[in-house]
A and B are shown apart, each in its own frame.
Chain A
Amino acid sequence: SAVISQKPSRDICQRGTSLTIQCQVDSQVTMMFWYRQQPGQSLTLIATANQGSEATYESGFVIDKFPISRPNLTFSTLTVSNMSPEDSSIYLCSVEDDRYEQYFGPGTRLTVT
């Protein structure tokens, strides 16, 4: 299994600003994922981040709004840019091992006012 930490755990931000969320894994992994969980909703995949290549975004998500970095095999960041109240969500990163199991971080609870 993998242990994942995220920073910050929560934040309250003003509209129009940006927030960068960090995801740290205790082992080297190839595939990392970023999900969004809006209030009362299920998880929606934002993008897949593989080290050494550009992130792959799902339909409805764009790089300008959610830029992602993946500088090495244990770390990734997701930035939520030009925030609006609709961006208020829990953002989770996850990693997948070679047994197709995904492990999730504790999430970052974002509130945009």
Chain B
Amino acid sequence: AQSVTQLDSQVPVFEEAPVELRCNYSSSVSVYLFWYVQYPNQGLQLLLKYLSGSTLVKGINGFEAEFNKSQTSFHLRKPSVHISDTAEYFCAVGPLWRGSQGNLIFGKGTKLSVKP
């Protein structure tokens, strides 16, 4: 079984400042890792994913995340945030072997609030 922990429920930050949203996971099997963003009153949009290969993954809107297997972490970063980045961010994990139960386990989300 897998589980995901997002360590911060809310992160306030000023515009143009850097931000890191933390995500830790646990799993008894190899996993895929994802970050999704949910803007107010909208569905989820995939920001980036890690399947294999380079541990630094670049996504849309200037976000990137680094997979750290030894620390079982997949933290999301952006060097300079904009007001438009205000949203809720979800980390998710899925089993590497999908079989017939390919589903994602989501963290509880981190609300990023960017202030002018």
Please classify the interface of chain B as helix (H, G, I), strand (E, B), loop, or mixed, using the class held by over half of its residues: loop
Please classify the interface of chain A as helix (H, G, I), strand (E, B), loop, or mixed, using the class held by over half of its residues: strand
Is the CB–CB distance between B101 and A56 below 8 Å?
yes
A-B contact pairs, 12 of them (CB 8 A): A4-B43, A42-B106, A43-B90, A56-B101, A100-B32, A100-B51, A100-B98, A103-B46, A104-B43, A106-B42, A107-B43, A109-B41
Apart from A43-B90, A48-B103, 13 more pairs, CB < 8 Å: A33-B103, A42-B90, A43-B44, A99-B51, A100-B51, A100-B102, A101-B34, A102-B104, A104-B36, A104-B43, A105-B43, A107-B42, A107-B43
Q: Which residues of A contact B (CB under 8 A)?
A: 4, 31, 33, 41-45, 48, 56, 58, 92, 94, 96, 99-107, 109
